[in-house]
Amino acid sequence: MNQRIPNDYLTYLGNETTPIDFTDFWHKMRTNVQDYNLVYDLERQLNYRFENKRVYRLSLQALDKTKVIGWYIRSEKQQRYCLLTTHGYRSSKKQPHDYLYWVDSGFDVIVLDMRLKGGETGNNTPLSGPMSEVIALNILDLENSYLSLIHQDMMLATRLPEALGYEGYVLEGTSQAGGLSIAMGCIMQTASVVLANVTSNS
């Protein structure tokens, strides 16, 4: 039995499926994010007591004025680099202690709740579709679709490390967060490293 892989299989690169306006769409979104006035608030959380670490509740104002809520967890002496991450589909940002190993490894942490996933982040953009599957909301309205909104939120979040005084940042995440990490690394071109695990939308 001949088990040699046919040459047609070795040279097949797939069909071109990229929409004609693909580059223009992402360029416009990136420009909108870069031109937007970065508005965020940090509130020290004194009920979390970890040795040589500080915990802040982070509120980031999205382009539609939604308050994207997260944690900012840092060493007493701010480190040179930080980690920017979020969570998988149907999950949330969890608790600050879930990220302490990153701080102990040399990276302060910014972690965000994605919209409407059971965490603290809501949504100001009108949405239509099944709330049981938020990923499909506004699916026929590309610029206001749920997926566009969370990509836009993460694009905005990539500006936080510089605003907070870091030399650079690492994008990290699993599943939905992994897919967003790859997208942010490609679109924004500002991350030092991308660590993506079992990525969604790939």
Transcribe 40-68 into DSSP letters. EEEEE-TT---TTEEEEEEEEE-TTS-EE
Q: Which tokens belong to 110?
A: 């910014």
Q: Which ranges in the chain belong to alpha helices (H)? A: 7-11, 22-35, 100-104, 146-157, 160-163, 176-188
Residue 129, Cβ density class (10 Å: 0-12 exposed, 13-18 middle, ≥19 buried) = middle
Cα dihedral 31, 148, 185, 10, rounded to 10, equals -120
First to last CA, the chain: 35
Q: Cβ–Cβ contacts within 10 Å for residue 15, how many?
A: 5
pLDDT at 202 over 80: no
Q: Which tokens belong to 130?
A: 């099944």
pLDDT mean over 93-122:
96
Confidence (pLDDT) at 11:
85
Q: At 128, phi and psi to the nearest 5?
A: -130, 145
Please give the model's pTM, rounded to 2 decimal places.
Answer: 0.91
Question: For 148-186, how does the pLDDT look when each residue is reduced to its tens digit (9 = 90+)?
Answer: 999 999 999 999 999 999 999 999 999 999 999 999 999
pLDDT mean over 105-114:
98
Question: For 119-140, how does the pLDDT look when each residue is reduced to its tens digit (9 = 90+)?
Answer: 999 999 999 998 889 999 999 9
Confidence (pLDDT) at 139:
93
pLDDT at 114 over 90: yes
Confidence (pLDDT) at 1:
62
